[in-house]
Structure 1
Amino acid sequence: MTTALIVFAKAPVAGLAKTRLIPALGPEGAANLAERLLEHTLQQARALPVEHLELCVSPNDQHPAFGRACDVSGDRLHLTLQGEGDLGQRMYRALSRVLSVHRRALLIGTDAPALDARILAQAEQALDLAPAVFVPALDGGYALVGLTRPVPELFLDMTWSTPQVMQDTRARARKIGLPWTELPAVPDIDEPADLAHLPEGWLTCNA
């Protein structure tokens, strides 16, 4: 079974990236951390030997961080645009696109540095046992979703960025009779209190 891994990322622009961290880090500090998270996520993603590795970005692909990511990854990394719509529409569109070619698809963001290559490999393997896999986030959302087929019910007309996202996703999966696997939850880095979950030394390097 071939696997596609999609990394969803927002351009690390000062004042627009990781805005909830600006009170703690300032606009430039928050943007620098966003870029560090992007680099770390792609490093972990490259360690997974998937057939298709994709960086799917917004609002455009012109930020220098995206060019650097492609330089480091070489021809292996495909740079695409998320396009219009809310988060659910964009995720569903990206997953559906790669699932038209590959048997398994994993989609992750860049906000969970604990989501390492080992967990990514576990999620890929979980799709041999169930058609869906999630890594919940401690804030009530999820840091990873994996599917073996498009499931619009999990994404469309969903209220995002709330503590109920994973709970609502479970309810939707039960309603349509979709089996799934959940791996242990990981922290997202969204709020100043979440900075305690960063790897040691990251804030020093970010200063």
Structure 2
Amino acid sequence: MSAPATGAADLLVIAKEPVAGRVKTRLTPAYTPAEAAALAGAALRDTLAAVAAARAGRRTLVLEGAPGPWLPEGFAVCAQRGGGLDERLAHAFADADAGRPLVLVGMDTPQVTAALLERACAALATHGAVFGPAADGGFWLLGLRRPDASLLRGVPMSRADTGAAVLGRLRAAGLRTAVLPVLTDVDTPADAAAVAAAAPGGEFAAAVRALGTRLGTRRGVGPGAGLGGRTVPA
């Protein structure tokens, strides 16, 4: 675990406890609910490991459910609150606001690295916001130099234009925004295979190899996933 860095941005991970039937439901029926939960748990562990290794301030897990042995030392834990995803994200920023920049990441991009998170934190020294677009039209990371929950409330989530809507909010607020590379959220079996191939050294890739690659879904319109994107079965 990297020690908290004085003056650095705080890092938030918003996640669900990896319980069968409650996480990664769009990986089924290609994977069983238990297998989907195992993949979700591996993705969460990889994400937490990257956050733990990054030079940052306070690290907080904003969790739906209960923490388990998968949680590294050095993380504060707070419960998600609010109804829709926009409210839960807004509350996450409000609850964690300690007067320092905040960077929030989800659990659906296990390929994220400590270096990429540090790049996001560093961007807030010269930008009002930092944004990580997801391949499905959502976003995988959002950072704010001066946290403002109102920037997220009312943003339409689970749509292919969610990322564009968030960027529009940031720019309408006059925030100079740094944009990070596009990453693929793990939502479908095809996504799982692609992310495992892109980051073969992590626990998520090992879990995909152990369970086997199972394709058969494509991206498109349909229910939401990740931090605002959406997919539909083929």
TM-score norm. by structure 2 comes to 0.79
| Correspondent of 2:91 among 93, 115, 119 | 93
| Correspondent of 1:35 among 41, 47, 55 | 41
Does structure 2 retain, via aligned residues, the 8 Å contact 1:92–1:150?
Answer: no
State the AA in 2 paired with 1:104: P
Greater shift, 168-177 or 138-147, is seen at 168-177
CA RMSD of aligned residues (A): 1.6
Counting only pairs closer than 5 Å after superposition, residues 69-148 of structure 1 correspond to structure 2 as 69-70=70-71, 73-74=72-73, 76-99=74-97, 101-148=98-145
Structure 1, residues 114-148: CA drift from partner, whole Å, max 9, x if none? 22111101000100111100111111111000011
State the AA in 2 paired with 1:37: A
State the AA in 1 paired with 2:12: I
Distance 1:136 1:83 in 2: 24
Give the match for residue 63 of structure 2.
57
Identity of aligned residues (%): 34
TM-score norm. by structure 1 comes to 0.89
Give the match for residue 167 of structure 1.
164
Secondary structure of 1:168 counterpart? helix
State the AA in 1 paired with 2:139: Y
- Residue 6 (str. 1) matches residue 12 (str. 2): yes
Bigger helix share: 1
Give the match for residue 208 of structure 2.
203
Give the match for residue 191 of structure 1.
188
Distance 2:211 2:79 in 1: 27
Distance 2:153 2:87 in 1: 6
Distance 1:48 1:90 in 2: 24
Secondary structure of 1:144 counterpart? strand
Does structure 1 retain, via aligned residues, the 8 Å contact 2:135–2:183?
Answer: yes
Structure 1, residues 14-58: CA drift from partner, whole Å, max 9, x if none? 112100001211111101000001111111110013221111111
Q: Which runs of 5+ in 2 are unaligned?
A: 1-6, 201-205, 213-234
Greater shift, 168-177 or 41-50, is seen at 168-177
Distance 2:62 2:29 in 1: 28
Tell me which stretches of 4 or more aligned residues in structure 1 moved more than 6 Å.
none
| Correspondent of 2:23 among 17, 22, 42 | 17
Greater shift, 197-206 or 129-138, is seen at 197-206
State the AA in 2 paired with 1:87: L
